[in-house]
Amino acid sequence: MESALIVSRTEKSTAFFLDVLRAASIHQTAAVSSCGEARRLLLERSFDLVIVNALLRDESGERFSRDIASTGTAQVILLVKNEYFDPVSAVCENDGVLTIAKPVNKTVFWSALMLAKSAHHKIRRVQAENARLQQKIKDIRIVDRAKCTLISRLGMSEQEAHRYLEKQAMNTRRSRREIAERIIEAYEN
């Protein structure tokens, strides 16, 4: 986790969050005092973590927190007054918002921050695996398309087309996808 956005209307709270973030080696930070400012900033750049200290000047922060958590990969920590904690937490937890009751001390906030960091790293690993699998699917589609081209243009059987691609890849020390792309380019254009 490298970057954080603090949405808080008080400078004292912002300073508190900045201290804890620095201790957690999160140095790329920005701070705004309203959800409107935060939304504009989020259109320009993304953050790994968004800390929302409710109530804000323009709204409570609950809807904003839920929107951010449900639409992107940013982790969201929402701080609410103790009397509102149970209903707000119940609504926000399904969207993945970590909710903390105020007043909050450094230990409690540190624990929530570490949970957010852990979730962030897990999401990044899942995204990387997803990207790898998506690439594998694309490769398989291109290889299958090349096999179909060999079958239709050269009258090979599926086994012969498969063997031809494998052998060409092995002999030329290239991937099956590269060989498949060359076949498609040669026969389909």
Q: In the structure encoding, which two tokens stand for residue 121, read together? A: 């790293």
Instruction: Note the pLDDT of residue 81.
Output: 94
**Can you give the pLDDT at residue 1?**
81
3-class SS letters over 123-152: HHHHHHHHHHHHHHHHHHHHHHHHHHHHHH
Q: Alpha-carbon distance 175 to 86, whole Å?
A: 55
Q: pTM of whole model > 0.85?
A: no
Within 10 A of 158 (CB to CB), how many other CB atoms are there? 12
pLDDT score at 184? 94
pLDDT at residue 187, rounded to an integer: 87
Q: What is the model's pLDDT at position 50?
A: 96
- Yes or no: say if 39 and 8 are a contact pair by the CB < 8 Å rule: no
pLDDT at residue 48, as a whole number: 94
What ranges make up the beta strands (E) of the chain?
Answer: 3-7, 28-32, 49-53, 75-81, 97-102
> Tens-digit pLDDT profile for the chain (189 aa)?
899 999 999 999 999 999 999 999 998 999 999 999 999 999 999 999 999 999 888 888 899 999 999 887 899 999 999 999 999 999 998 899 999 999 999 999 999 999 999 989 998 899 999 999 999 999 999 999 999 999 999 999 999 999 999 999 999 999 999 999 999 999 876
Q: For position 58, what pLDDT does the model report?
A: 86
Q: How far apart, in Å, are the Cα atoms of 189 and each of 62, 142, 168, 175, 184?
A: 55, 15, 20, 21, 8
